[in-house]
Amino acid sequence: MNDKAPTPSAVCESPGLLCLVARRMGIDTQHEAIAFVLHNSVVRRAEGFAAQARIEIHHGSKTIIATLFETVGDHLGEGEIGLSEAAWRRLGVQEGETVTVTHPQPLESMSSVRRKIFGEHIDGKELKAILGDIATGRYSDIQLSAFITACSARVLARDEVIGLTRAMIEVGEKLTWEHHPIADKHSVGGLPGNRTTPVIVPIVACAGLTMPKTSSRAITSPAGTADTMETLAPVNLTLAKMRSVVEQVGGCIAWGGTVKLSPADDILIRIERALDIDSEGQLVASVLSKKIAAGATHVIIDIPVGATAKVRSQKSAKLLSDSLADVARTFGVEARAVVSDGSQPVGRGMGPALEAHDVLAVLQNEAGAPQDLRERSLALAGGLIELAGKAKAGEGVPLAAEILADGRAWKKFQNICEAQGGMRTPPRARHHRPIVAARDGVITDIDNRRLSRIAKLAGAPDSKAAGLELHVRLGDHVKKGEPLFTLHAETPGEFNYALDYTANKARDVITIGAR
């Protein structure tokens, strides 16, 4: 029984531990660690692992929790364990090495989740334990969903929101900066084209604030800020590189994926999206934990309000603003919310490069630059400048407008791009075609979700130049045959996919009412 060979009853040096030979299954289940053993194998039965059980897998100093599935056929033999890509990566195992498998330690923190479900209050220590287990991958999707649902059904009290925020910060990495104040910005919910960050950062940096901004890539949208910025400059910066860029030019616009700020939040967001629920407490903790962990001292938060936006009423926006400011203050951080119009896309482009062209037009003060993107950027930059005490109340926006108008912002943006590794010219797609109005009338509705879908079918965000350019705004008068938007694609296949879908759905994407 002390044999390390891959026999069914192979047991490792530590008595009582089961040893199995690792096989890479070539199955990508994203974040989820999945393990496979042969159907009805002696190992599974003898160890009392049910199929779909959670098991603990150990390799060297690494331990992960995985869900157990079974294989039929010749994928695996007795004494072998197949691993999904995530499991393989996290264990750092090589083909044919052995791993040990055990029943997982009981997930004590789930008892706090159950207490919350049944209406009891949970304290900071319990929240720390829950978030710690979530960040280390110990919660299954079923358990994550119960936690999210419980926090929505049993509304989080103020101290629970604070405890949740603190726990999210503590289970991840934290950044500290020598400068002060450190400015940051967040936008709640994805409004297509709302690419204000690359305009705000250079403006506030010119106003004397330090803004080491990290942004995300697209998850469900045609472009994230990092995707758009990547068409203008490198964004995959190491932390050391970020520090040197910020030291040099006062700000950066980097991809946030290299630093693990509030990692539990990323896991929870995936579940919230699947359930399409988002409680105020979770949202506050989610936004603030990332910003506080990033070392921010002053945070401006854009809250677009609209029928299809994440926040649907002025009243909810007010409650959310107040809670954000209140909770931030307990962490010594100043947060201010700016409620904005979330009824239609911002700017013209949807897709990385097309959005970058909008950003450049605003920074370069082009006559035809999208005014909504310009105004939103100024409102947020001005608010941030005031919040950090670099301008008096009411003087932030004028100052921001001056910095933009006199070319300082554009100069600073170029400096940032150079410092990040060199400025790039956003590409243009090879294929484009305008989609025209089928009748005369007034634009009464623009379906943000369907527009996003079309931009993605055209290839965004993987094809940088793909997406669409919107030519109309709500309330515009159009004549039959005038272009509503232009499709951009890099390959004929994607171009046709987007055109086919558009042909079927055009009437529902942009609604034209009678004059």
Containing 410, the helix (H) or strand (E) segment is: helix 408-420
Minimal distance, residue 509 CB to a second copy, in Å:
14
Helices (H), 136-218: 141-153, 158-170, 197-206
Minimal distance, residue 105 CB to a second copy, in Å:
15
Write the DSSP assignment of 97-150 as a string of letters. Answer: -EEEEEPPPP-TTHHHHHHHHTT----HHHHHHHHHHHHTT-S-HHHHHHHHHH
Tell which one of 10, 19, 35, 36 touches a second copy (CB under 8 A). 36
Tell which one of 3, 4, 9, 434 touches a second copy (CB under 8 A). 9
The reply to whether 17 sits near a second copy by the rule CB under 8 A is no
The reply to whether 269 sits near a second copy by the rule CB under 8 A is no
Residue 480 DSSP code: T
| Exposure on the CB side of residue 168, measured as CA atoms within 13 A | 30
From the candidates 133, 278, 358, 372, which is the catalytic residue?
278
What span, in angstroms and rounded, lies between the C-alpha atoms of 133 and 353? 39
| Environment class of 26 (CB within 10 Å of its CB; exposed 0-12, middle 13-18, buried 19+) | exposed
Nearest to 292 by CA among 168, 386, 388: 168
Exposed e or buried b for every residue in 437-475, given b needs 16+ CB within 10 A? beeebebeebbbebbbbbbbbbbbbebbbbbbbbbbeee
Q: Which stretch binds a second copy (CB under 8 A): 271-279, 311-319, 324-332, 379-387?
A: 271-279
The reply to whether 5 sits near a second copy by the rule CB under 8 A is no
The reply to whether 89 sits near a second copy by the rule CB under 8 A is no
Report residue 393 as tokens.
């109340």
Tell which one of 389, 398, 422, 493 touches a second copy (CB under 8 A). 493
Minimal distance, residue 177 CB to a second copy, in Å:
35
Per-residue binding string, a second copy, 201-240, x by CB under 8 A, is -------------------x--------------------
The reply to whether 394 sits near a second copy by the rule CB under 8 A is no
Whether residue 276 lies in the annotated active site: no
The reply to whether 16 sits near a second copy by the rule CB under 8 A is yes
The reply to whether 462 sits near a second copy by the rule CB under 8 A is yes
How many residues touch a second copy under the rule CB under 8 A: the total is 64
Report residue 373 as tokens.
């993107």
Pairing of strands 34-38, 80-83: antiparallel
Show contacts with a second copy in window 311-330 (CB under 8 A).
Answer: none
Minimal distance, residue 403 CB to a second copy, in Å:
39
The reply to whether 298 sits near a second copy by the rule CB under 8 A is no
Pairing of strands 298-305, 183-187: parallel
Show contacts with a second copy in window 112-171 (CB under 8 A).
Answer: 114, 116-119, 140-146, 148-150, 152-154
The reply to whether 28 sits near a second copy by the rule CB under 8 A is yes
Asked, as a colleague might, if the bond just before 106 is cis with ω within 30 of 0, I would say no
Q: Which stretch binds a second copy (CB under 8 A): 30-38, 324-332, 433-441, 469-477?
A: 30-38
Nearest to 220 by CA among 190, 250, 197: 190
Tell which one of 6, 56, 58, 70 touches a second copy (CB under 8 A). 70
Q: For residue 398, which amino acid is it? A: P
> Do 452 and 222 touch, CB atoms closer than 8 A?
yes
Q: Which stretch binds a second copy (CB under 8 A): 93-101, 164-172, 347-355, 491-499?
A: 491-499
Helices (H), 434-491: 448-457
Which residues of this chain interact with a second copy, rule CB under 8 A? 1, 8-9, 16, 26-30, 32, 36, 39, 42, 45-48, 50-52, 69-75, 85, 110, 114, 116-119, 140-146, 148-150, 152-154, 220, 271, 274-277, 453, 456-457, 459, 462, 493-494, 496-497, 500, 504
- Point out the residues that are catalytic: 278
